[in-house]
Structure 1
């Protein structure tokens, strides 16, 4: 009987320890960025429903059109001075409702961010209050439209899923991006072959 009571007590202590260890995530959400499980839906697992519009944030880009390899600056910012945000998950999606991304999103300036969801996404890596987040999108491919779309977290239970978005349209000729990549690859191959021929000629002369 005594052993059974001790066992029950130990089990209760173990459960309590698990709860205490989990408390930081329960209280603060995900201070180191959106987890991989949120990549597809872009929905924080905060145990609360998403907030409804209006969204107190804006998303602007340095250019609303792109061509092969362009680098475009993206700015997520508060619409009014009182509306800071703690976290964000932004992705470059040809289709807002599908999880596939294109190009590469990267932090700019002093922004602390990471890419938990792959090259075509970016998320916060710390949870301080922010008035803006500046990053870049490096274009790839020739999708007719690429949408920079963001989920923004103001507080654990206050967030907007895909709340802000900005479309960027392709301004080039379809198929030219892949051709340009092929041309660069061919040029490199020609250079390597030229070096090999020169080396062979030098060895023959010697």
Structure 2
């Protein structure tokens, strides 16, 4: 799960700089290149140095449930792409509510930044499908401090 997801997310990183109004939808639905682990000459930073957290209000959901997902850290960041995935199938699931300065990609249950401004935090709201039986969800993606400094494969934790 993790390695394949990292490759998908890595493809998004360069697009954040090239597209300051957010990653385009093809960033999460185009085929990845498993033999290209880096974006250009830049590599993701070590997970142990990640100054950012993705905190979900819950990791369980029922029909139509809403979960708040907050990105924050010790430093500002410029961009992000976060996807919701079913914990048992790894498939994209649910949808995001539109909040200021974001762009939604319903095709792949993703949300991205909509401007290149420095951000202290991003507060996002995910909604489970109305027809869902319930289950577990996790949120994963990339947080970008700058074009050359980013953390991919970031996975949410459940906060208080």
TM-score by length of 2: 0.71
Q: Does 1:49 align with 2:40?
A: no
In structure 2, relative to structure 1, the CA distance for the partners of 1:45 and 1:97 (3 Å cut) is farther
* Counterpart mapping for 1:15-94 below 5 A: 28-40=17-29, 45=39, 47-54=41-48, 55-78=50-73, 80=74, 83-94=75-86
Q: Aligned to 2:124, what secondary structure does the other structure show?
A: strand
Number of matched residues? 136
The structural deviation recorded for 1:105 is 1.3
Q: Aligned to 2:119, what secondary structure does the other structure show?
A: coil
| Matches of 2:25 and 2:59, distance apart in 1 | 29
1:89-114: CA deviations, max 9, x gaps?
A: 0000125995x311111233xx3011
In structure 2, relative to structure 1, the CA distance for the partners of 1:143 and 1:162 (3 Å cut) is farther
| RMSD value, Cα | 3.0
Indicate the structure with greater strand content: 2
Contact 2:70–2:122 (8 Å) recurs in 1: yes
Contact 1:68–1:142 (8 Å) recurs in 2: yes
In structure 2, relative to structure 1, the CA distance for the partners of 1:60 and 1:117 (3 Å cut) is same
TM-score by length of 1: 0.56
Q: Does 1:103 align with 2:94?
A: yes
The structural deviation recorded for 1:155 is 0.4
Which stretch has the larger CA shift, 30-39 or 69-78? 30-39
**Map of 1:151 onto structure 2:** 142
Contact 1:105–1:119 (8 Å) recurs in 2: no
Which 5+ residue runs of structure 2 have no aligned equivalent? 1-13
Contact 1:152–1:159 (8 Å) recurs in 2: yes
| Matches of 1:142 and 1:45, distance apart in 2 | 38
Contact 1:152–1:160 (8 Å) recurs in 2: yes
